[in-house]
Amino acid sequence: MADVSRRDPNIVMRLARLGSMHQSRLSFMRILTRRLARENWRFERAAFDIDSTGVGHAIYTAHGPDRSYSLIAYAHDLPPEKRSDRVIAEAWDATFTLFDGVPTAEDIERLSHNIPVQEAGRVSETELSVSRANRSVRLWEHVVNVLAEGRQPSYEKIAAVGYLMRTTAVYGSGKLGAADREMIADRPEFRAPFQVEMLSVYLTRWFVVDLVQHMAKARAALSGTQAAELDAGIARSIGIGNSTGLGMAPFLLNHPRLFNNWITAREDAIQAVRNVQWARDEEIAQFHDILLRNIQLIESWQSQHPVQMEKLAVLGKDIALVKGYLSRTDLSMKQPWDALYSWSEEALSLEGQEWIASLILEPYGALVDKFAKAMASDDEPVALIAGATQIGSLRAVLEDVYRWAIDTDWTVPTNMARAWYISEEKQEPRLGQRFEEPIEEYEQPLAPGRDAAVLYQALTHWPDEVEVADFLLENPEHRHTLRRIQVAGSSPYAEIRDNTISNSMLPIDMLRCKLSFFGATKFDPRSDRWVRICMYGNAPLPYELSQANADFWVFPSSTETTA
Amino acid sequence: MSHSLNEIETMSKRAARGAGLPWGLAEEAGKTTRWLSAYGFPGVNLLVDLLEMHDALPILDVSPVSLEAETWSAPIGRMSPLIANASVSDCAARLLSRGTITLENVDLPLLAVPSIGAVASTLGVSVVVEWQNARLVADGSAICVEGDPKALEARHAAKMVFSIPAELKHRQEPMLRARLSDRSWSKLSAFAHRTYAPATEESRQLGAGSSRNDND
């Protein structure tokens, strides 16, 4: 049988498929927990100075082989009317920074004036991230209440929400004055993407479990009783939520090379596993085990959003089809994973296909995990233009990568219905109606398909042998797009091959794609541009982490109830 | 108060866009101030000065007429250093074959310099740029500054010459933070502000898209 090649970017880079992606071995959370366990990182709660009303600060330090990092958490007493996940919020239940090293008392004092106000504060190069979180009001109250009464919280209630707090923004890489990624990118622990943010959230989860216990004890003390200690299994089932809005969506468009490297790593992994000639018995057994555990996880995935409810219903049917396929197929056949994946392309929805594509990687850590090394990008987002490139070869890339865009009729209003812009408040990306709101003059360059088609048109009368430097001198308005096309020409998975400004585009597809690479589960859209997810559900708490549980925690063990 | 280089790059890009530059040149304006700031030059101040000086000037008026000409010059006799910088960068291969690119009448010439770092990386040879009594050499990871420091911040250069090869007599490495005056940062922010759409209650609700209660 011929070698299976990588999947065609024209298939992979469509929004509907990107918006159906699932976490995998290459997810950033799993890359982090594997490293922390492998390198035997040590974790300590260095301070917990929080009063009975839940106000104060705590410090959690992770000690690695060469360096230490500390999560500094500030806990607040937030009135309900101020609780908002929106980026325009001005107060939160808790606020955090990941500090480079171990903070001094002066650092704690300095940051106490800046972290609680988030965007209104300033931080320095010793701070690697700035973040905040809000409580899930109903679950928080339930857990505090029953623990204070000496009982354990209900698994069902926890499973229905999945987390006690959800982060509403995690800022890194230079934002608000924090350290640029370039300052830390050469540290092995931060080579893979978003490891600062993933470490921050991992330590945040520990803080949240400690805080809920602390508040239960405080409440019990008021009535002179003794609170129960939260059961370790229940604690493990609690993840950290994340509520993500539009602000994250343009990231994939603004970092085409980085995005290419993420997708390429996963596609390389899928290709490598599809090319496995014969599966060993233990690999087949592991696949079956993970499959069953993964089905449990999916069964606990809930959403009230019509788009996701439909996708979940279809995924449920896909699971039944996969079970049927596996009952009549012997995986000890030649190239079993290619056969399974190829069958899924014919038989399953996009959600089901991407689920299988991630799932077949699970037994193959030795084959797959090495691709994580190539997921970072040291190239600047603003790439150098190769000015000596001839118009002819630029045209060829346009016709290859942007064929769909060249063939789109951009005079049809629905194809141009939206425009991305930056709002005056908080300077965050928003999406508006081009023909109904006064926003077009503020449009951000986040419609690469439309812009490529305009450039293609502008090139019509330019001879093939002219160099792009000369074209750009006369047409500087195409400089952004031409730069982008040169990146797309050398990075096959850099570009979303879909219309990002049409009336039917769903921003949650971009959010889902990015969050799946983080390793998120239980995507729960709140609208077409807002999604809640769960991170680190079922993961060992830092003090429980070992090589034995560092990798497959995302899948609930078959005897355990899931969060 | 120090700033991260990413903050400087982002704000500079938005400011340049706010002053009317196309996105692609605005991106290079961001890279330019980042590069200058990393080497301790007042990149942000210079960019603010340029945006004020060239506000509303048509781009083609301050661009080279031709990249094939022996000497590059702009139609109105004043060249934008941002466009000069971008054009030199686009002509890296031509610099290799010609050995020299000469420009006439460039405003705020230091803003035209950062391309030498990228060009040197691309070509694998050190690049030198000279004007009046100023001389800078770059090899892609460090620079060497020679000549009169005052000339570096000249408002105008009658003649600027980029050439290869060159030698770094000493090495100045880039820094990863920069200190800016509040005044230049707020001027830069004012230009950037022109790119933000004024908020309306409708856009607040629809634009970000979650009106559901978060007290759940």
pLDDT in tens, B140-182: 899 999 988 889 999 999 999 999 999 999 999 999 999 998 9
Per-residue pLDDT for A560 more than 80?
Answer: no
Tokens of B23: 């996105």
Contact present, B110 and B36 (Cβ < 8 Å): yes
Chain centre to alpha carbon of residue A259: 12
CB contact under 8 A, B198 and A424: yes
Size of interface A-B (CB pairs under 8 A): 177
Q: Do A423 and B197 touch (CB under 8 A)?
A: yes
Cα four-point dihedral sign B70, B75, B81, B86: negative
Q: Smallest CA–CA separation between B8 and chain A, in Å? A: 9
Which positions 55-114 of B are in contact with A (Cβ < 8 Å)?
A: 59-60, 63-64, 66-68, 83, 86-87, 89-94
Cα distance between residue A232 and residue A249, in whole Å: 36
* pLDDT tens track for B18-47: 999 999 999 999 999 999 999 999 999 999
Q: Do the Cβ atoms of B176 and A246 come within 8 Å? A: no
A563, pLDDT greater than 50: no
CB-CB contact of B144 with B160 (8 Å): no
Pure H helices in A402-555? 403-406, 448-458, 468-474, 479-490, 507-518
Residue A559, pLDDT above cutoff 60: no
Q: What is the reported pLDDT for B210?
A: 53
State the average pLDDT over residues A30-46. Answer: 98
The tokens for A34 are 């594997």
Kindly provide the ipTM of the predicted complex, given to two decimals: 0.95
Cα–Cα distance between A492 and A8 in angstroms, integer?
9
* Average pLDDT of the residues of chain A: 94
Average pLDDT of span A55-71: 98
- The CA distance from A5 to A551, in Å, is 28
Buried b or exposed e, range A125-144, using 16+ CB within 10 angstroms: bebbbbbbbbbbbebbebbb
CB spacing of A476 vs B25 below 8 angstroms: yes
- Please list, in sequence order, all residues whose beta carbon lies within 8 angstroms of the beta carbon of residue B18, skipping any fewer than 6 positions away: B51, B191, B192, B193, B194, B195
Quick one: A44 exposed, middle or buried, by C-beta within 10 A (0-12, 13-18, 19+)?
middle
Region of poorest pLDDT, from A50-54, A412-416, B153-157, B211-215: B211-215
CA distance B185 to chain A (A): 13
A-contacting residues in B 6-65 (Cβ below 8 Å): 6-7, 14, 22-25, 27-28, 30-31, 59-60, 63-64
- Which residues in chain A are contacts of B89 at CB distance < 8 A? 384-385, 387
Selecting from B90, B200, B209 the residue whose C-beta is nearest the C-beta of A527 gives: B209
Contact indicator for A286, A521 with CB cutoff of 8 Å? no
Residue A25: pLDDT band (50, 70, 90) is: very high
DSSP E strands in A279-349: the ranges are: none
Averaged pLDDT, A59-88: 91
Quote the minimal CA–CA distance from B146 to chain A in Å. Answer: 26
- Per CB-CB distance under 8 Å, the chain A contacts of B31 are 380, 382
Q: What is the mean pLDDT of chain B?
A: 92
Calpha distance A159→A181 (Å, rounded) = 35
Domain ranges (residues) in chain A: 9-23+256-377+502-544, 43-245, 391-490
Q: Taking a C-beta distance cutoff of 8 angstroms, is the pair B74, B65 a contact?
A: yes
Q: What is the pLDDT of residues A333-383, one digit of tens each?
A: 999 999 999 999 999 999 999 999 999 999 999 999 999 999 998 766 678
Distance from chain centroid for Cα A530? 13
Preceding peptide of B165 cis, ω within 30°: yes
Crossing angle of the two packed helices B182-193 and B43-54, in degrees rounded to 10: 40
Check: CB of residue A532 under 8 Å from CB of residue A524. yes
Q: Is the dihedral of CA A178, A182, A184, A190 positive or negative?
A: positive
Candidates B8, B175, B196, partner chain A, best to mutate (most A CBs within 10 A)? B196
Here the tokens at position B110 are: 């230091």
**pLDDT by residue (tens digit) across A460-488?**
999 999 999 999 999 999 999 999 999 99
Handedness of CA A401, A406, A411, A413 (dihedral sign): negative
SS3 A366: helix
Asked if A439 and B37 count as a contact pair (C-beta separation under 8 A), the reply is no
In the block, tokens 């926003």 appear at A439
Task: Select from A166, A424, A529 the residue whose CB has the most chain B CBs within 10 Å, as the one to mutate to test that interface.
Answer: A424
Closest-CA distance of chain B to residue A291, Å: 32
Nearest-CA distance A160 → chain B (Å): 12
B206 Cβ under 8 Å from any chain A Cβ: yes
**Phi-psi map region of A349: left, alpha, beta (phi>0 left; psi -120 to 50 alpha):** beta
pLDDT at A381: 63
Which among B22, B92, B196 is the nearest to A476, CB-wise?
B22
